[in-house]
Amino acid sequence: MDIRTLEEMPISERKAYALKKVKGLQDKLNASITIIEDDEVKADGKLMGIPVALKDNISTKGIKTTAASDILDNYVPVYDATIVKKLKEAGAIFVSKTSMDELAMGGTNRTANIGPCHNPYDLDRITGGSSGGSAALVAAGAVPLAIGSDTGDSVRKPAAYCGIVGVKPSYGRISRYGIIPYASSLDHVGYFTTNVEDAALALEVLAGRDDLDMTSSYEEVLEYSKLLDANVKGRRLAIFGNVYDAISDSSIKEAFDKIIVSLEDKGAIIKKVYFDGDLMKCLFPTYFIIANAEATANHSNLDGVRFGHRIDGDSMEDVMMATRTRGFSSFIKKRFVIGSYSLFEENQERLLKKAQRVRRLIVEAVLNELKEVDALLAPASGSIAPRLDDPSSDELSDEYLIAENHMVIGNFGGLPSMTLPMGFKDDLPIGINITCNAFKEEEMFDIALAIEDITGLKGHVKEVL
């Protein structure tokens, strides 16, 4: 499903069509936490009557917003996130609050309190996370647009595993007001579509300065969908050599190589670049330290006192202890322990501050290369979506540390980055990632459109039987 095709359907039928799909898929995909029945078109805009799904960490006035955590499973916000207001003003209608890793802290969508989300291409495989529910509904053709959030690769990795387009724009391009945070210096609002044109249109609606979010940008928002140009002649594109070399699956490399050859045939100037190997091996540990430290601080308000679930006790300390003990999964507790340890005054210099310095070195190295090229290209992942019952991976291997975590660079530097379908292996999707200079979304979409023309996968969805 895509926005243009859906526009051919009478507005009165679009909501019913999407709801039927969302409901019919729930037993198979487990992609929705709350299904929204009573929303209706309230405005005439670029997304008039278009059904949209929202990740369940996005505040919706009067609609439960749980972030897939027991501690928030009774939380109903009294206000809308800025992006919810923007979507309403554009005429969108909401049909689902989607599954996610608990508090967005994960990369598999196995940890939602309603159970794991299932990949439309193989129900025994993960969607990726933390925005897996949104990815699944777009990939299965239930909605043409779904919103997620991306702290490390939480939109772009599910897009790769589910065979759709996933966009994380520049830091500050889309307001985060009303988004339950994970790590404030890394969090971005992102989204999923089935094609590049819809992705460009969605950014027109979602982007812009918001005084309620001091980190949002004053940069001009262009009419990206009208500026699309698949001509890459003279474009300077760099293959991310560290990622390419770390991948062991030759079929994924072959699919990537075919796209690179086609881009060269279209006139693109291609080179392969390498960054310091030790820095690249630090991507995941740097992210893990910073993200968990910021998450621990951000979620200190989930205490059973201010909002969300409360377990009664004889004192405020008893209430907080009991609520947090029952309200968080063991997975989240582990991350809070790690985050708290990094925040201890005696540990900050050797852990948190060191990680922040390494982050700066990584960003400086990438920005220095992006002075010479228009984009970095790499396979989004070194594998197809893993099976739900096989979480094992060698977390000390280059394949894990580099090939599976390279997209965090876009979060470290606030750079626009997107994944789109590259092809298939064993009938399962594989994706290609594009990363550009800050606020160069127009260039990113143009390169993506050229790749989409090469693959012929525009609008592809998977019918779930």
The model's pLDDT over 388-402, given as tens digits with 9 standing for 90+, comes to: 998 666 677 889 999
Provide the 10 A C-beta neighbour count for residue 173: 24
Number of other CB atoms surrounding residue 278 within 10 Å: 9
Q: How far apart are CA 213 and CA 21, in angstroms?
A: 34
> How many percent of the chain have pLDDT more than 90?
91
- Return d(Cα 242, Cα 378) in angstroms, integer: 9
d(CA 26, CA 407): 30
- What single DSSP character describes residue 52? E
pLDDT of residue 172: 98
- Residues 6 or more apart whose CB falls under 8 angstroms from that of 46 comprise 90, 91, 201, 204, 205
DSSP sequence for 315-348: SHHHHHHHHHHHHS-HHHHHHHHHHHHHHSHHHH
- Distance set, CA 137 to CA 52, 72, 193 (Å): 10, 23, 10
Residue 256: HSE in the Cβ half-sphere, 13 Å Cα cutoff: 30
Mean pLDDT, rounded, for 330-341: 96
Q: Supply the pLDDT for residue 392.
A: 64
Question: What's the CATH architecture for 3-233?
Answer: Alpha-Beta Complex (3.90)
CA-to-CA separations, 389 to 64, 123, 125, 379, 405, in angstroms, rounded = 30, 11, 8, 24, 21
pLDDT of 374 above 80: yes
pLDDT tens for each residue of 290-308 = 999 999 999 999 998 888 8
For the chain, give the mean pLDDT: 96
Q: Could you tell me the pLDDT band of residue 102, with boundaries at 50, 70 and 90? A: very high
- Residue 131: its pLDDT value, please? 98
Whole-angstrom CA distances from 260 to 255, 263, 366 are: 9, 5, 20
Quick: pLDDT tens for 225-265. 999 999 999 999 999 999 999 999 999 999 999 999 999 99
* CB 332, CB 102: distance < 8 Å: yes
Could you give the CA distance from residue 226 to residue 131 in angstroms, rounded to a whole number? 28
| Cα torsion through 118, 121, 123, 126, rounded to 10 | -40
The mean pLDDT value for 111-122 works out to 98
Q: How far apart are CA 165 and CA 145, in angstroms?
A: 10
Global pTM reads 0.97
Q: What angle do CA 208, 138, 217 make, to 5 degrees?
A: 10
The predicted pLDDT at position 393 comes to 66
pLDDT tens digits, residue range 38-48?
877 777 899 99
**55-64, 166-175, 277-286, 384-393: the lowest-pLDDT one:** 384-393
* Catalytic residue list: 55, 130, 154
**pLDDT tens digits, one per residue of 204-216:** 999 999 999 999 9
More confident residue, 234 or 316: 234
Nearest to 121 by CA among 159, 150, 156, 154: 159
DSSP 231: -
The pLDDT value given to residue 397: 86
Residue 4, pLDDT > 90, answer no
Per-residue model confidence (pLDDT) at position 12: 82
SS3 253: helix
